[in-house]
Amino acid sequence: MEILHFRAAGVSVVIECPPDALPAILHWGPDLGPLDDAALACLSAGLRPRPDVSVDVPVRVPLVPEARTGWMGLPGLSGHHMGQNWSPAFTSVDYRRTGRTLTATARDEHARLGLTIVAELGDSGLLRARADLRNESGSPYALDALNLAFPVPGTPTDLFDQAGRWAKERIPQRRPLTTGVHLRENRRGRTGPDAATVLFAGTSDLGFRRGEAWGLHVGFSGNHRHYAERTSSGRTMLGGGELLLPGEVILAPGESYQGPWLYATYGRGLDAAAGRFHEHLRARPAHPSTPRPVMLNTWEAVYFDHDLDRLLELADRAARVGVERFVLDDGWFHGRRDARAGLGDWTVDATVWPDGLTPLVKRVRELGMQFGLWFEPEMINPDSDLARAHPGWIMQTGDRLPPPARDQQVLDLTNPEAYAYVRTRLLAVISEYDLDFIKWDHNRDLVDAGSTARGGRASVHAQTHAVYRLLDEIRAEHPRLEIESCSGGGGRVDLGILERTDRVWASDCIDPAERQQIMRWTGQLLPPELIGSHIGADRSHTTGRRHDLAFRAATAFFGHYGIEWDLTSLTDGELDDLASWVALHKRHRHLLHSGVVVRVDDAPESVQAHGVVAADASEAIYEIAMLERPSTWPPGQLRLPGLDPATVYSVRPLMPVTSHGSAPAWTSGDFALPGSALAASGIAVPPLFPDESVLVHVVATSRP
């Protein structure tokens, strides 16, 4: 039996590969160092469990757990041939290793099922795996579930994941890891604002810079599940996969099902675990390679009021403050005067735009800006020409339509005619205006998502893959085009959609007090350059709260910077202030969008802090935010993590600090300390009011 040892970036993965059974991970976690075959054999023997009271042989738990081994936890594969072959036994397995990638091709000769498992350890230390199932029999196979599971050692005591709702996404939650199953199911037909995002098992001391964390992310944009399971025998597993609806996948003879990639990250602290995702994404060939253009999106500036003269003035002012991409949001297409009509009729509304979008597009490009447009291609309003002509193109099952949401339904992209229509219309508009950018929205859940083209069968799986195919084909036709995944704000944030898009819209809420948390925890999966982060008006559209420009601009500073604000309402002085923030971001966006994300564990009461440190630790920018009134004053000391201990750094504010009391010495310039002192002792937090923040610029002045 071969035992493989993959190592990368401080992570080891040891996989046992018997010829008569599926591969099983023996170790996933900290680097074990170089191990020869004898050491690997000892490791395997030492980790093989003794027989317990269930069966008289050691119970193996492979990447796709099998009930037939005596495993009493959740099985990986669930399905049947009309009630037969419900407990498969894959006892014939071929293995192929290429670098740090293992491909296992297995067969159950009796059930006539084939299973392929691919597992690979990337350069960042991120482990990913997926499984494909083939029906090699002469009868249909009803697939209920195909999940993968990764073993976690006995040290974790806590579970950590995320929840949330519209306009308050990715809220962290923590609980004890106990015997049983912690199950997070996403049944919205798209990754929801309440998704787990990454499910972690961690040690009791887990924080951003301490403890140990094993995390799992399901990279799929439809229904999916994450779970953590601890059995009475002491085994702990993190697992997940696509969540299939009843009868959704029935494999005809010779057909295959390919499951999504599952991504597994290990780190000493949540920052290290997040960093593996960030490095993996940044290493992709399709990762955005140019500076992220500062953009203005028109939604909170004009809503549905599309008046050419007003939009031309908005474009002029956007260019004045340094905007590089101008995006026209909802309301440009036929019949779209409010949210109740028009979705599906993807032609420019001649009553509002008698000369098409050309006058606006021409002016935007004359001003040196790119031009982008909003679409919601997967949706349809019943009040649309498309719905009236093709009512059967609405996703539905039984004898009823799903309940409406936002006066809209879901367009059935599994229907070849509906798919061809949307593809043709989108490509026509993209080509006519040579679009640089699409904001691709998705504003409702998939309820009763059946397809009339498929006899009313559940079709979330097929719909999700149709969307993937549509995105892939549009990108192939227009490789320069960038696409944002927006889904009712911060839904559909996952690595499946990010194989095809260039950023996500983290939330419809751009109130900076809320965005402090949303940006902080979206960063557990995504690096800053992939997270749309905009400056809104002084009064928030979603919360009604008011904040100063400095807090709004500093909160948005680290992401893909943008503006969501009616600039025609600003005075010349306000435009100049905004322009200074845009210019500041442009001067530092290379660092912000390439450096290592750090978040501070032990901030003083009511203070939250985070930053980005250059890969070579030569420079860093931190934000210190006061979120509430603390019970003690002055606020106290804040440690600055992530710097090189032996390097001496100058510390100064990036923008002038408004201090309500005696300002700390570092705010006046001429202040330098080694990285070891900044990490251990830190700097004094300025006396800030709630909902104020300061940006701290740390630059190496003397290196060993």
pLDDT reported for residue 70: 87
Using 50, 70 and 90 to split pLDDT, how confident is the model at 51?
low
pLDDT reported for residue 633: 87
Residue type, 142: A
Q: Are 17 and 41 in contact (CB under 8 A)?
A: no
Section 632-649 average pLDDT = 95
pLDDT reported for residue 50: 64
Least confident of 519-523, 635-639, 659-663: 659-663
pLDDT reported for residue 46: 73
Using 50, 70 and 90 to split pLDDT, how confident is the model at 657?
confident
DSSP output for 459-524: -HHHHHHHHHHHHHHHHHH-TT-EEEE-BTTB---STTGGGT-SEEE--S---HHHHHHHHHHHTT
**Which CATH number, 3.20.20.70, 3.40.50.720, 3.30.230.70, 3.40.50.9100, labels domain 295-585?**
3.20.20.70
441 annotated active-site? yes
Report strand pairing: 127-135 vs 141-146.
unpaired
218 has a pLDDT exceeding 80: yes
Provide the token pair at 447.
Answer: 């309820």
Pick the catalytic residue: 330, 436, 441, 511?
A: 441
125 has a pLDDT exceeding 80: yes
Burial of 663 (0-12, 13-18, 19+ CB in 10 A): middle
CA dihedral angle for residue 584, residue 590, residue 592, residue 594, rounded to 10 degrees: 180
**Which CATH number, 1.10.150.120, 2.70.98.60, 3.90.230.10, 3.40.50.150, labels domain 58-282?**
2.70.98.60
Nearest CA among 239, 283, 198, 281 for reference residue 73? 239
Nearest CA among 596, 684, 595 for reference residue 639? 684
pLDDT reported for residue 43: 87
H or E segment and range at residue 586: helix 572-592
pLDDT reported for residue 408: 97
pLDDT reported for residue 659: 74
Residue 184 to residue 227: CA distance in whole angstroms: 6
CA dihedral over 285, 286, 287, 289, signed as positive or negative: positive
Neighbours of 20 (CB within 10 A): 11
- Residues of the chain with pLDDT > 90, as a percent, come to 93
Using 50, 70 and 90 to split pLDDT, how confident is the model at 180?
very high
DSSP output for 351-391: TT-TTTTHHHHHHHHHTT-EEEEEE-TTEE-SSSHHHHH-G
DSSP tag of 623: E
169 has a pLDDT exceeding 70: yes
Section 317-329 average pLDDT = 98
pLDDT tens-digit readout, 560-591 = 999 999 999 999 999 999 999 999 999 999 99
Q: Are 509 and 515 in contact (CB under 8 A)?
A: yes
Q: Characterise 202 by phi-psi region: left (phi > 0), alpha (psi -120 to 50), beta (else).
A: beta
pLDDT reported for residue 52: 62
Specify the pTM: 0.97
Section 301-324 average pLDDT = 97
Radius of gyration, alpha carbons of the chain: 27
Q: Which residue bears the tokens 């040196």?
A: 368
Residue 21 to residue 2: CA distance in whole angstroms: 12
pLDDT reported for residue 661: 81
pLDDT reported for residue 16: 96
CA dihedral over 72, 73, 77, 83, signed as positive or negative: positive
Residue 378 to residue 411: CA distance in whole angstroms: 5
pLDDT tens-digit readout, 600-613 = 999 999 999 999 99
Q: Domain boundaries in the chain?
A: 58-282, 295-585, 597-702
Query: Rounded to an integer, what is the distance from CA 491 to the centroid of its chain?
Result: 9
508 annotated active-site? yes
**Residue, of 54 and 592, whose pLDDT is higher:** 592
Burial of 671 (0-12, 13-18, 19+ CB in 10 A): middle
Domain 597-702 is classified in which CATH homologous superfamily? Answer: Golgi alpha-mannosidase II (2.60.40.1180)
pLDDT reported for residue 504: 98
Section 656-668 average pLDDT = 86
pLDDT reported for residue 53: 61
Pick the catalytic residue: 494, 508, 511, 691?
A: 508
Residue 198 to residue 524: CA distance in whole angstroms: 8
